[in-house]
Structure 1
């Protein structure tokens, strides 16, 4: 038992992930009933994800209010906010541009046989239509609709919907700014309340992470079984046909992880990427298995503060904001997917149209909720912006769930990298804490 407890958290999660993958593959090959997995294994994963989502809104509310209130003055808030938003914007543009470069170089859409193209369009047409109808509602609104949607009509109602996270962020920042400007004796009680709430939620995270390996096992096992469906051979053929597209997206995401973020850390902080990566492993694996940067936020905050040396003041401001609007992986995927669909449908896009994709994908990434599948809805808007038929998303539905897992991991890694950079430039980073935690890391 003591040996089991000595296994680090990230290793336990990785073991759960691998065992889930093995179980799913064996289940398909042996022809076991999918009902057992869906009825008795998947619920464990669902409960795990729900537990994380349960605390996402109160965590964002409490941590942002405390984060802003602890900054101390408006000038520091505006400086830190400007840095955060500026880096978010730059990394998102880099991610989208990188995706466009790769997809134009590899041309995965030209490698898709006509037969497979038609098969995919028929198989996933209903999914494409549902995503298009949701996106149509967004498109029909005014150009300033994102600003309108940011302001909640009813904060209590917004707090009950994880898809309205940006409204909660807006309310929390406004509350934090107000606390900066009221007399300290008046605001002390409010600050103490949210500070205590924040500590309670972090403790709840510790409880939830005890079952993380089992939740990850259940999520991966059920995902494999559900992707295969009743015809594993057909599913394999369709996934194989889309291998070039998938590899293009994965190549872009890998470059973000191994080139862009390390350069960012090298230029603006003293933390080595190897130490950063080690510190973030559990959060990255969790993001991979849940496909939700919002659900993973509690763990991301814990890793950034306790293992990377970022002050609570910075992490409480940057990370909730990043989980809501900083979607590097999503914007890269949208750029690749848009050009891939155009190539598959034999449409030639001009340079101006591709620049429009960069701009639209950047803005769409800001509007994407940090929950599974949200990126595909926003992709429809990107396609519409350059006249690509929205039904074309049927071509990429098959591998999207797996790619969603990887891009979520990139999204939250980008948030953490920006938090480190902002903390370093604000003098709120303790590199010694990072080094000590890496060298004497104990299981969490």
Structure 2
């Protein structure tokens, strides 16, 4: 009897252990399934990037026709157009709804903290790039033979002062509707001498607005000619002017109380609708990104030769980006927030991949909003304030690129830079990066300003045009991450003010609700006092 009971107990124990094992396996399986479900969009986006690289390099040996290349890149073009379609309404709605939800004093504090952070990180990137370029010495005088002769050596470039003044003109637009379509910029045209007529065709070509890397260059064969500075408008959204107008409008909208409540709700609703559109577009990301990357790889001529010639330059840029993203940014995050910074970084993988594929911080802005608000739980009042501003003035990667490229070209030209010229490179790179546009290859135009400041040959900058399609993507990730980490730091520094703002908003909503109830009661009394017909 005792033996039979022991055997039954052993069988029960064995069955329980098997059930425990099965339960543990099921828990592990459910955990992995939950991880995959939470990160499915990131995995799909990453697969799109890898697929684009594989397709691009696999089809290069086939020598495809231009029509075929256009068809391969066409889905990516549509994807980019859809993303850019949402940028302007998203920026307007986010800034107005975000700034109106905070009082004017708090808006001023947040704006000051944001600007100081952006200025400090841009200066830090310029110093980092300059230091790495001086240590690694990527420039080789023998590379100057590979420079293609262009008209840049005979061109009149805008100065740093012109760039800064253009920045002010764009921040304070004279027409908000024009700001949605055009940007102000300075150009130089040859001054007509008495008795020496200027060819009208050449003049119209030189002064015509353009969005290419030579936008600020005026070709002219006579270097002794006198130049006239004029301000023109070129196609492209003046994001700085729109940002300034929306910040002022939203801040003042929050001060008029109940009368502005409907307008605030209107822009908040627009923001929510745009974010729903972003959710739908996200499922098109793998196709769009793979098409963009494959099309770009297939369209580049002699990609192996170019990469070999400029390998040390690319390595210097990549090392600077790696050090900033994985060391400096993580240290800044940990010092201020005392949290694991790498968890925050991993939460931004999808916008990073999108920014890398599109080479535009602005194009990745809708996805950045979604990840920051929903995944990383950053206060939406901060993200709606910081991200659109950072998208336009915080160009950490651009500051790094301009500083490295300036010293690279100086080394390639066999120039020896003194301490004053090195400081000039750092300051010029910082100032120029903050006047940069969040569009692909904008840094190339600003590089010419930095080269002019140290009297380096502008013509040698043409060597970098062939690889900018790749380097631009690397530095875009720096720009994007700089905005996101800025939002996290500013939120932490503003946490006490945000709590006070929450209390004020609660009582404001209570006042609006009570006022509405009073209005309804008065309407009811008026109707009851009317004689029955």
TM-score relative to the length of structure 1: 0.88
More relative contact order, 1 or 2 (CA 8 Å, 6+ apart): 1
How many residues are aligned here? 411
Distance in 2, matches of 1:413 and 1:146, equals: 23
Cα 1:50–1:22 change in 2 (3 A) is same
Partner of 1:284: 352
Looking at CA atoms only, which structure, 1 or 2, has the larger radius of gyration? Answer: 2
Deviations, residues 5-59 of structure 1 (Å, cap 9, x unaligned): 9561111111111111111111112x24142542212111111111111111111
Are positions 1:151 and 2:172 aligned together? yes
Partner secondary structure for residue 108 of structure 1: coil
In 2, distance between residues paired with 1:270 and 1:142? 39
TM-score (norm 2): 0.74
**Is 2:198 the counterpart of 1:171?**
no
Q: Note the alpha carbon deviations across 1:196-226, whole angstroms, 9 max, x for none.
A: 1111111111111111110000011011111
Equivalent position to 2:295, from 222, 226, 233: 222
Q: State whether residues 147 and 460 of structure 2, in contact with CA within 8 Å, keep that contact through their aligned partners in structure 1.
A: no
Distance 2:68 2:435 in 1: 34
> Given that residues 278 and 367 in structure 2 are in contact (C-alpha distance below 8 angstroms), is that contact kept between their aligned partners in structure 1?
yes
Q: CA deviation at 1:427?
A: 1.8
Query: Residues 11 and 280 (structure 1 numbering): CA distance in 2 closer, same or farther, change over 3 Å?
Result: same
Where do 4+ consecutive residues of structure 1 move more than 6 Å? Answer: none
Shift of 1:428: 7.9
Partner of 1:185: 258
After superposing the two structures, state which structure 1 stretch, 408-417 or 393-402, moved more: 393-402
Pick one of 121, 131, 135 that aligns with 2:148: 121
Q: Is residue 2:454 matched to residue 1:386?
A: yes
1:315-363 residue CA offsets vs partner (Å, 9 max, x unmatched): 0001100001000011000000000000001111111111111111111
Shift of 1:271: 3.4
Q: 1:24 to 1:167 in 2, by over 3 A?
A: same
Task: State how far apart, in whole Å, the 1-side matches of 2:84 and 2:262 are.
Answer: 27
Q: Does residue 1:424 correspond to 2:492, yes or no?
A: yes
**1:62/1:265 Cα in 2 relative to 1: closer, same or farther (>3 Å)?**
same
Match of 1:295, SS state, is coil
Unmatched segments (≥5 aa) in structure 1: 431-444
Distance of 1:192 and 1:385 partners within structure 2: 48
44, 49, 54: which one aligns with 1:12: 44
Report the Cα distance in structure 1 between the residues aligned to 2:52 and 2:327, rounded to whole angstroms.
30
- Pick the structure with more helix per residue: 1
State the partner residue of 1:239: 307
Question: Quick one: structure 1 residues 33 and 260, their matched pair in 2 at CA, closer, same or farther if it must change by over 3 Å?
Answer: same
Consecutive unaligned residues of structure 2, counting only runs of 5 or more, are: 1-32, 183-235, 499-533
339-348 or 301-310: bigger deviation: 301-310
The alignment's C-alpha RMSD in Å is 2.2
Aligned mates of 2:316, 2:405 — CA distance in 1 = 10
